[in-house]
A and B are shown apart, each in its own frame.
Chain A
Amino acid sequence: MRLHQGTFSLVADLTDDQIRKQIEYCIKKKFAIGIEWTDDPHPRNAYWEMWGLPLFEIPDAATIMYEISEARKAHPNVYIKINAFNNTRGIESTGLSFIIQRPSFEPGFYLVRQEAPGRTIRYTLQSYAVQGASEGTRY
């Protein structure tokens, strides 16, 4: 499967040049930029691991591109995303969030169905990759 999370995920993976342009957009909007990675991409996993702190007042896209390449070197076969933070009053939340690296194989999720009273089913979403594999050995 292909994980559909993030602003851009049904188009082809963004090239580094395209990533840089999106980062330039974030800089222009005065967003802070964080890099996050995980090998547990459950849709309700709100907290991926942070690659350091988000960068504030970024001088140029090269600074972020450098951190991206360092993060990729350290975590070559997991999900990595860019999270851009917008601190404008009335927003104060994420402004843009997109995946910049995927594991070579994305096994995806399956549904556990628990038969409940009446016709109700309780659904649990589980990850093939996380199932039975410890952190760091999932992809």
Chain B
Amino acid sequence: MSNVEQRTRIKSERYESGVIPYKKMGYWDADYTVKDTDILVLFRITPQPGVDPIEAAAAVAGESSTATWTVVWTDLLTACDIYRAKAYFVEQVPNSATEFFAFIAYECDLFEEGSIANLTASIIGNVFGFKAVKALRLEDMRIPFGYLKTFLGPATGVIVERERLDVFGRPLLGATVKPKLGLSGKNYGRVVYEGLRGGLDFLKDDENINSQPFMRWRERYLYVIEGVNKAAAKTGTVKGSYLNVTAATMEDMYERAAFAKEVGSVIIMIDLIIGYTAIQSIAFWARKNDMILHLHRAGHSTYTRQKSHGINFRVICKWMRMSGVDHIHAGTVVGKLEGDPNTVKGFYDTLLLPSLKENRNIGIFFDMDWASLRKCLPVASGGIHCGQMHQLVQLLGEDVVLQFGGGTIGHPDGIQAGATANRVALESMIIARNEGRNYVEEGPEILKAASKECRPLQVALDLWKAITFNYASTDTLDYEATPTKAAA
């Protein structure tokens, strides 16, 4: 008789050693019935020339779950049918010959509870460098109710934050201290005081203000808090200034956060580039210490902006709401940075709604209940000014922080005047909206009328009246009026 190796070699066609197509390995199942507990993922796939889109989808499902490039017998020691992700639907992207939408279902047990790091290690782990696809983009995810319940989400979100700040029925107003870099602590605190005194709710550090030679972090915190308190006394309101605690190590971040608390700040801030684990850690710290947590999405455009490859920002919105940040920059539409109106609406809905309904017109591909995770407050920042107030209120709604950096600090009559112009423009617009006026059409008139009693607003409107940023967006939506198939 033959030798032992020959006698025990696996005979099944599926598990014979070698390379077989992923779709034959069980990573494609057109008849798969999606479970309520599955994590559903939509990828935009550009297969290499000659690669069948279904095989590419199966390959993505395989590489982002259990597969490796070749057959392994150890699969048979597991309930491998359960753990294999299944691509279950592929459709051509509207108006594209080379791109395909692929829907993939993942068993919930593939992922550790409450860990964005673990979730992303699978979904965006190896697969984006996979040779069989020319480009790959993570477009959307349906996170099941049960898995969402393993995350705490934002500690304050929109509602608690409003109650703490005592600001209701209007967007919050903020500004970023400018210049971004170079101010001494004392001069920096001056900008904070002036902006808050003039009527803003928040000032903020910029993403790259950490602890540089021109201003170390302790110096900044102390002067900023002096500005915050003085403005609170002058206006009789709760004021805040996001103290950026981003640093080289988690230990440094905790130290800075603790000092922010000690000096009496209501809010701290982090940058997206600190990483998912650090974000979740500081979110738990913020929850425990009654601190609002602001997230600046620094770095995101490196992977969110191009349509064919990377991650759609709506997915980052979902991960960040799960991680528990209270604020996140999510676009302005009218400002200086990338943002197609419908796409941005999709981001805002993702952050703010208790549940999402599939609506490809705004880039939402799945129904998803947020399992009572609190809302994450979107922040609109970058090249906006008070002359656009009617458009901002219409496009971004009430639950948003409008941040006018240059639009406050660049006011010819000073920062206080700039802040007052913004606040008066906003209040006037909300009054008009609530009165049922067609504030979008009548916006310029409403602002003009308000400026008659407010010189700072008059000056601002004159200065910035012609400033617009009308460039075509890169990240736009691909949809047809009637989608070919509703996502499961």
Contact = CB atoms under 8 A, between A and B. Distances in A.
Interface of A: 1-5, 7-12, 14, 18, 21-22, 25, 41-44, 46, 84, 89-98, 108-111, 119-123, 125
A22 B199 contact: no
List the 7 closest A-B pairs by CB distance, nearest first: A96-B169, A25-B434, A4-B235, A123-B229, A90-B354, A3-B236, A109-B233
Contacts of A96: 168-169, 434
Contact of A43 (B166, B263, B423, B430): B166
A10 B436 contact: no
A14 B163 CA distance: 23
Contacts of B226: 121, 123
A54 B108 CA distance: 46
B262 interface: yes
B427 interface: yes
Contact of B236 (A10, A95, A108): A108
A116 to B, nearest CB: 9
Instruction: Give the contact-size bracket for chain B.
Output: 35 or more
B263 to A, nearest CB: 6
Nearest to B218: A119
Interface string B208-231: 000000000010001001100110
Interface in B434-488: 434-436, 450, 453-454
B321 to A, nearest CB: 13
B235 A1 contact: yes
A5 B234 CA distance: 12
B375 interface: yes
Interface string B153-197: 000000100110011111000000000000000000000000000
20 contacts: A1-B236, A5-B236, A7-B170, A10-B199, A11-B424, A11-B431, A11-B450, A14-B431, A18-B431, A21-B436, A91-B159, A93-B163, A96-B434, A108-B236, A109-B232, A110-B233, A119-B218, A120-B222, A121-B226, A123-B264
DSSP majority for the A interface? loop
A125 B238 CA distance: 11
Given A4-B237, A18-B431, A109-B232, 13 more contacts: A5-B166, A7-B167, A18-B435, A42-B236, A43-B237, A89-B354, A90-B375, A97-B166, A109-B236, A111-B233, A119-B222, A120-B222, A123-B229
Contacts of B159: 91-93
Contacts, number: 108
Contacts of A94: 162-163, 168-169
A89 B353 CA distance: 11
Contacts of A18: 431, 435
Contacts of A120: 222, 262-263
Contact of A11 (B225, B238, B428, B436): B428
Contacts of A121: 222, 226
B420 interface: yes
Contact of B169 (A14, A95, A110, A125): A95
A3 to B, nearest CB: 4
A5 to B, nearest CB: 5
Contacts of A90: 354, 375
A108 B231 CA distance: 12
Nearest to A31: B169
B232 A43 contact: yes
Contacts of A108: 233-234, 236
A97 B169 contact: yes
B168 A7 contact: yes
A95 to B, nearest CB: 6
B156 to A, nearest CB: 12
B427 A11 contact: yes
Contacts of A4: 199, 235-237
Contacts of A110: 233
A90 B351 CA distance: 13
Contacts of A14: 431
